[in-house]
Amino acid sequence: MTEKSEKTELIKNITLSRNHTLVDLVDYQDNRVNSRTLAQNKAIGVTLFAFDQGEGLSTHTAPGDAMVQIIDGEAVIHIDKERFVVKTGEVIVMPADIPHSLHAEQRFKMLLTVVRKLGN
């Protein structure tokens, strides 16, 4: 007797066991922020974003460290009132519970990885 096992979906919204070009997995849309969630659970979130010029995310905090990897263009990121310009190929970490915001002075795409602390 065999039991049917269910695969737990850890990575989603992407074909598994295939080559992909990260920057091509999310498209720019006029006057919008477009996103594709690749993983989301209590410990981690991984999301691709495409920001049109003039778009952004207003000041907020996150419950975990948020690492932004710019995969196309450049972003203006404020972390606790300090301004950073982050360009293609660069990363920056926005610490947990510290106010931050993002703005697209030009179009950009990013991979956002948020790592949360589990339990106390």
Are 51 and 29 within 8 A, CB to CB? no
Put simply, whether the predicted model's pTM sits higher than 0.75 gets the answer: yes
* 10-residue stretch averages of pLDDT, the chain, 120 residues long: 61 95 97 97 96 97 96 98 97 97 97 88
Are 18 and 40 within 8 A, CB to CB? no
Burial class (CB within 10 angstroms; exposed 0-12, middle 13-18, buried 19+) of 58: exposed
List the chain domain ranges.
22-116
Are 56 and 107 within 8 A, CB to CB? no
Residues 6+ positions from 24 with CB-CB distance below 8 Å: none
Alpha-carbon radius of gyration of the chain: 16
**The domain at 22-116 falls in which architecture?**
Sandwich (2.60)
Per-residue confidence (pLDDT) for residue 43, from 0 to 100? 94
pLDDT tens digits, one per residue of 43-67: 999 999 999 999 999 999 999 999 9
